């Protein structure tokens, strides 16, 4: 996709589109991403699921048995593979943009969209689903609060490089959130030669 390409407002012909959803765990990338892909008539891919398929084991096992460094290398390889394809909405993992220069790869090959979410909202969503998430499953509530604070502030410089930043994503009202995103994507244009 050329950098100066303006997206098609009607989403009837999205040939060559790559939409990358980025943001902290629990910000709604997967749930909103599925619906966004439907509206935009694009394929939906979840990066964790893609890695799980190629590795034939869950992300939690990859972390437990091979460690985070291995996972991050696997994640980068998966991204390189997918960024060579077209016509998808990809929900990345919360840490994806922050390792191996991935944010630059995303911005070179498509449109990155950050779902900016406050610490309190993240806490309430993650507290309820921590068991499935290897990085936080053993944390007490106060440790989880601290983890969100420190990890979010370390990751924000990467997230901030997104082409589009969306506030107030509501996972309970997916229709409204999807409309917000499609409006921004429709008007998104990167000036030729501009880098993010």
**3-state SS, residue 106:** helix
Smallest separation, CB 8 to ligand S3P (Å): 28
Helices 119-129 and 141-159 pack at an angle, to 10 degrees, of 120
Q: Which of 32, 78, 111, 135 binds ligand S3P (CB under 6 A)?
A: 135
Which residue's CB is nearer to ligand S3P, number 48 or number 114?
48
Cβ count near 189 (within 10 Å): 13
Q: Which residues, 6 or more positions from 38, have their beta carbon under 8 angstroms from its beta carbon?
A: 44
Smallest separation, CB 187 to ligand S3P (Å): 27
Residue 93 sits in the site that holds ligand S3P (CB under 6 A)? yes
Strand partners, 114: 22, 165
Which residue's CB is nearer to ligand S3P, number 144 or number 190?
144
Residue 94 sits in the site that holds ligand S3P (CB under 6 A)? yes
Q: Which of 28, 33, 95, 110 binds ligand S3P (CB under 6 A)?
A: 95
Residue 97 sits in the site that holds ligand S3P (CB under 6 A)? no
CA dist., res. 146 & res. 122, Å (int): 12
Which residue's CB is nearer to ligand S3P, number 59 or number 169?
59
- What are the percentages of helix, strand and coil residues in the chain, rounded to 5? 50, 10, 35
Residues lying near ligand S3P in the complex (CB under 6 A)? 25, 29, 48, 59, 93-95, 133-135
């Amino acid at each position: 996709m050329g950098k100066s390409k303006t997206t098609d407002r009607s989403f009837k012909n999205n040939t060559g589109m790559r939409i990358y959803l980025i943001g902290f765990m629990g910000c709604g990338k997967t749930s909103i991403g599925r619906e966004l892909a439907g509206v935009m008539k694009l394929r939906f891919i979840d990066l964790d699921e893609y890695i799980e398929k190629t590795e034939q084991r869950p992300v939690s096992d990859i972390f437990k048995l091979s460690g985070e460094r291995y996972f991050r290398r696997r994640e980068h390889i998966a991204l390189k593979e997918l960024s060579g394809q077209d016509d998808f909405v990809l929900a990345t993992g919360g840490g994806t943009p922050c390792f191996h220069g991935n944010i630059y790869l995303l911005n070179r090959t498509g449109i990155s969209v950050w779902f900016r979410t406050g610490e309190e909202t993240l806490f309430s969503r993650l507290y309820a689903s921590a068991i499935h998430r290897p990085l936080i499953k053993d944390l007490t509530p106060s440790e989880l609060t601290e983890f969100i604070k420190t990890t979010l502030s370390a990751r924000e410089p990467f997230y901030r490089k997104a082409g589009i930043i969306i506030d107030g994503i509501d996972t309970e009202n997916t229709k409204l959130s999807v409309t917000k995103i499609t409006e921004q994507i429709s008007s998104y244009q990167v000036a030729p030669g501009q880098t993010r």
